[in-house]
Structure 1
Amino acid sequence: MRPIKIFTLLVGVLWVLFLDVLLVNLYPAGNLFFLISFGFISLVNKIAIGIYAYQLILLSVVSINAPVISTQKKIAGMVNSTLWVTRILMLQLPFWTTFFLSSSWIGTGNPVFWVIQVLITLGFAGLAVWLFINIRYENREKRWFKFLFGSYEWTPIMKAQEMLGQIKEYDNPE
C-alpha cells in the first residue's frame, strides 16, 4: 500500500501546486466563480494531502510483530482515514461545474443554459452530499461502494480488516 500512497501524495502535492499557481496568477483577472471554485477545490485537496500523509505515518508504525489489538487499531485508523479522505474529496464535485462561469454571463446568459447549469450543479451537489453521508464502512458490501473502492489502495485494507476481525472473534468467542 505504501507505493500507491506515496504516488497519490506526490500527485496531490503537484496538483495543489498547479491549482495554487493558477489561483495566484489569475487572481488579478478577478473571475469570482473561478477563484471560489478553484480555491475550494485546492483547499479540499490540501486536506486530502494531510490525510494521506497521516496514512503514510500509520503505515510506517504498523508492525507484524506488534500485538494484534494494537495492529487492529492502526488498521481501523487506516480504514477510517481512507473513508474520510474520499468523503472529503467528494465535496468538491459541484465546484467543478461552476469554475468556468463569469459574472458577465449572469445578465446575458441564455435561460436554457442557466436551467441546465443549475440542474447540473444541484445534481453534483446532491451527489456530493449523498456520497459524503453514505461512504461508510457499513456500506462496504454495496455495489456502488465496491465500484468506488475496488482499488489497490482499498483492497489490502479490507483484507487486513477482515483477518483482524476473524482473529478477534477467535480470541473472544461469545
Structure 2
Amino acid sequence: MEVLLVKDIDYIVTGNSIKLINEFTGRIAEKRRWPDSMQSALESKEGLPVKREGQTLGSITLQHLMCLFKKVSGMTGTAVLAAQEFDQLYQLKACVIPPRKSCIRIDKSDRVFSTKSEKNIAHGQRVLEGENLDRRKALYKYSDLVEQQRQVIHQLRDDILLSDGVHQKAK
C-alpha cells in the first residue's frame, strides 16, 4: 500500500488535533497546517473533527517585507556568494568575519553507493563499528533517518503478514 503521509513520522495525533512534524528537525511544527484540504482529509481519516480551512487575506514578497525594516542584519556562511544579489535587491553589503579558531574538522573522501540499500547498510555499520573512536558525535540528517524508517515500514507492510503467529511472505 502506497501512502503519502505516515502517522508518527509525518504527523502525530494529540487530543482532537493533528500536529505536523518538521521533516528536517523531527520536532512538532506548532500552528502549521497542510494546504489544499489535505489537513481536512487527514483529520477525517483519523476520525477527528474537521476544522475550517484558513483564508489568505494578503501576500507580500520577501523583498518588500525586508524593505519595511529600518535595520536589517544577519549571519550566514554563504552571504558572500550572494553579495551581488543582496546589494541589488536590498542595498545590503556582505562581509567576511574571520573565525577566532582554526578549523579542526577532518574532511574525508566522499563515499558513493549504487543503491539506497547499500548506503543504509554502510551507515548502520559505521555506527555499530564505532567509526568515531575519538568520541565525536556523528551527524545524521533527520530527513534521511525518516526516509529509512519509511522504507522499513513499507517493507514490513509489503513483505510480512502475521498468520497464526508465523511470519509469512506476502503474496
Per the TM superposition, whether the score is higher than 0.5 is no
**TM-score bracket relative to the smaller structure:** under 0.3
Higher strand share: 2
Instruction: Name the TM-score, length of structure 1 as normaliser.
Output: 0.26
Higher helix share: 1
